[in-house]
Amino acid sequence: MEDKNITKLSFSDQKIMNKIDFYNCWEDILQIEKALKINSNDVVFSITSNGCNILNLLLHNPKKIISVDFNPFQNYLLELKITAIKNLEYLDFLKLMGLKSLKNNLSIYNSIKKDLNKNARNFWDKNSFVIKKGLLNVGEQNVKNFGLFLRFLKGEKLIKNFFLCETIKEQTDYFFKHIYGMPWQLGHFFGYNKYFIRISLCFRFLIEFYHGRKKSDYLGYIKNVNFTKNHIKKIEDIYTKIPIKYNSFLSLILLGYLLNENHYYPYLKQENYKILKERIKKIEIKTASVFDTLKEIKDNSISKFFLSNIFDWIDDKNFKKNLIEIIRVGKNKSRIFYSITRKDRYIPKDILEFHQDKNMVIELLKNDRTTFYSGFEVGDIRKK
Ligand SMILES: C[S@@+](CC[C@H](N)C(=O)[O-])C[C@H]1O[C@@H](n2cnc3c(N)ncnc32)[C@H](O)[C@@H]1O
């Protein structure tokens, strides 16, 4: 059932967003599972991000998961979740995640922090306000602002009731009667219009340039961003053809939090908690770029790769360099999966060892519940 104690978020939550970029999970575990079919023989190489999908993947019992992120703060987030799973009872774990009463979150954190490594502990000590709010209740306000706006216009109850629709027919009728309309259409028109995306990226580029930060491949992205008119139709289908009762992504976007247990990711479910505890040691965290991490790995040693949408932000030269390393460390018949929002990030034909699974690409595009991606790359590495 929905927990009434979940606190609402304020804009001041964004104070530390210069450190952790992704608190919430924006990639669909059902898609990753379908694409990679992880089993107990697999060694998995995956992007850490918020750590949610690392923990979800652990439930498939691979031999090992190498969890990689060049942002150390993302890895501190995963470290905290791992330490919590190792040390806490289920209810306290949910509290720390922000899914139950938050009253004693700080004392829960204090009881486990000795097991964090020094850098992670320093980080969380300094950012204890996140702990107080619950780890899944902060971040990505830019995405959540759309829901905030809709709730302001239509009222919280009307939006919440959308998630109570039991059948697809009920959901579709509710969507067109109460949710769809000018604000919804405008929000999506601006959010997924490639011209607006290009303009906003120019501003982001200037801000990063001003702060002297490491630059992503903005020019390549601006040139190749691949949201067509069909994308809004695809999003309409997500709202009307896939049960919203279980769609955690729409719950986060429209309400700002996971409404109830139906929206919990697999690793948050009570029946999986004991399994997580047993397997948690299989995660190995690396703080480095994918390329630098791959360079340290022996030939033919990884069987499954989940690479988030990292290639959207990498230039052509580095894209190719990464692919060559992936092919080298990938075992024969290993599988690769990643998400894309630009048109030039499918694996090029001259990488002869890669064989795209075309049917799976189509299936994943049809069933994705997240709204954010315009494509997926998935297939096998075949070596002689
Ligand atoms: C690509 S972002 C996308 C987030 C994603 N859509 C999600 O739902 O989690 C995920 C993570 O990849 C990390 N990242 C991006 N490029 C990377 C690279 N080349 N090497 C290592 N980590 C990378 C970022 O720091 C970020 O935490």
Q: Tell me what the mean pLDDT of segment 210-216 comes to.
A: 69
Task: Using a pLDDT cut of 90, give the percent of the chain over it.
Answer: 77
Residue given tokens 């991000």 in the structure block: 49
- What is residue 3's predicted lDDT score, i.e. its pLDDT? 36
My answer on whether 248 and 273 are in the same domain is no
Q: Could you list the residue range(s) of the whole structural domain that residue 244 is in?
A: 141-263
Tally the domains of the chain.
2
Residue 49, pLDDT > 90, answer yes
For residue 15, give the CATH number of its domain.
3.40.50.150
The Å distance, Cα 309 to ligand 1 centre, comes to: 7
Q: For 283-294, write each residue's pLDDT tens digit.
A: 999 999 999 999
- What is residue 215's predicted lDDT score, i.e. its pLDDT? 67
Q: State the closest ligand 1 atom to the C-alpha of 69, by its place in the atom list counted from 1.
A: 22
Q: Residue 347 falls within a domain, yes or no?
A: yes
End-of-domain residue from the set 263, 285, 312: 263
Residue 160 CB contacts under 8 Å (≥ 6 apart), including other chains: 255, 259
More confident residue, 83 or 102: 83
Q: For 308-344, write each residue's pLDDT tens digit.
A: 999 999 999 999 999 999 999 999 999 999 999 999 9
In this structure, which residue's CA is closest to atom 12 in ligand 1?
Answer: 49
Q: Residue 117 falls within a domain, yes or no?
A: yes
Q: For 224-279, write each residue's pLDDT tens digit.
A: 888 877 888 999 999 999 999 999 999 999 999 999 999 999 999 999 999 999 99
Q: For 4-38, write each residue's pLDDT tens digit.
A: 333 333 333 334 434 899 999 899 999 999 999 99
My answer on whether 153 and 246 are in the same domain is yes
In this structure, which residue's CA is closest to atom 17 in ligand 1?
Answer: 310
Query: Ligand 1 pocket test: which of 69, 221, 290, 339 has the largest number of ligand atoms within 8 Å of its C-beta?
Result: 69
- What is residue 2's predicted lDDT score, i.e. its pLDDT? 37
My answer on whether 252 and 269 are in the same domain is no
Q: Tell me what the mean pLDDT of segment 213-227 comes to.
A: 79
Residue 212, pLDDT > 80, answer no
My answer on whether 311 and 371 are in the same domain is yes
My answer on whether 193 and 300 are in the same domain is no
Kindly state if the Cβ of 216 falls inside 6 Å of ligand 1: no
Kindly state if the Cβ of 325 falls inside 6 Å of ligand 1: no
The Å distance, Cα 310 to ligand 1 centre, comes to: 5
Q: State the closest ligand 1 atom to the C-alpha of 339, by its place in the atom list counted from 1.
A: 6
Q: State the closest ligand 1 atom to the C-alpha of 312, by its place in the atom list counted from 1.
A: 1
End-of-domain residue from the set 263, 297, 325: 263
My answer on whether 119 and 19 are in the same domain is yes
- What is residue 9's predicted lDDT score, i.e. its pLDDT? 36
The Å distance, Cα 323 to ligand 1 centre, comes to: 16
Kindly state if the Cβ of 24 falls inside 6 Å of ligand 1: no
- What is residue 262's predicted lDDT score, i.e. its pLDDT? 95
The helix/strand/coil state of 46 is: strand
Q: What angle do CA 145, 52, 250 make, to 5 degrees?
A: 35
Q: Residue 291 falls within a domain, yes or no?
A: yes
Q: For 116-173, write each residue's pLDDT tens digit.
A: 999 999 999 999 999 999 999 998 888 899 999 999 999 999 999 999 999 999 999 9
Q: Residue 89 falls within a domain, yes or no?
A: yes
**The dihedral of CA 145, 148, 154, 158: what is its sign?**
positive
Residue 108, pLDDT > 90, answer yes
- What is residue 202's predicted lDDT score, i.e. its pLDDT? 82
Label residue 206 by pLDDT band (50, 70, 90). confident
Q: State the closest ligand 1 atom to the C-alpha of 71, by its place in the atom list counted from 1.
A: 25
My answer on whether 95 and 190 are in the same domain is no
Q: State the closest ligand 1 atom to the C-alpha of 27, by its place in the atom list counted from 1.
A: 8
Q: Residue 4 falls within a domain, yes or no?
A: no
- What is residue 10's predicted lDDT score, i.e. its pLDDT? 38
Q: Residue 1 falls within a domain, yes or no?
A: no
My answer on whether 175 and 67 are in the same domain is no
Label residue 214 by pLDDT band (50, 70, 90). low
Residue 378, pLDDT > 70, answer yes
Q: Tell me what the mean pLDDT of segment 340-351 comes to.
A: 95
Kindly state if the Cβ of 285 falls inside 6 Å of ligand 1: no
Q: Tell me what the mean pLDDT of segment 184-191 comes to.
A: 84
Kindly state if the Cβ of 77 falls inside 6 Å of ligand 1: no
3-state DSSP helix/strand/coil % of the chain, to nearest 5:
55, 10, 30
In this structure, which residue's CA is closest to atom 18 in ligand 1?
Answer: 289
My answer on whether 15 and 131 are in the same domain is yes
My answer on whether 172 and 312 are in the same domain is no
- What is residue 16's predicted lDDT score, i.e. its pLDDT? 40
Residue 224 CB contacts under 8 Å (≥ 6 apart), including other chains: 342, 343, 344, 345
Question: Buried b vs exposed e over 340-372: b needs ≥16 C-beta within 10 Å?
Answer: bbbeebbbeeeeebbeebeebbebbeeebbbbb
- What is residue 17's predicted lDDT score, i.e. its pLDDT? 39
Q: Residue 6 falls within a domain, yes or no?
A: no
My answer on whether 145 and 257 are in the same domain is yes
The Å distance, Cα 273 to ligand 1 centre, comes to: 26
The Å distance, Cα 69 to ligand 1 centre, comes to: 6
My answer on whether 271 and 231 are in the same domain is no
Distance between CA atoms of residues 377 and 345, nearest Å = 8
End-of-domain residue from the set 263, 278, 295: 263
Label residue 70 by pLDDT band (50, 70, 90). very high
Q: Residue 158 falls within a domain, yes or no?
A: yes
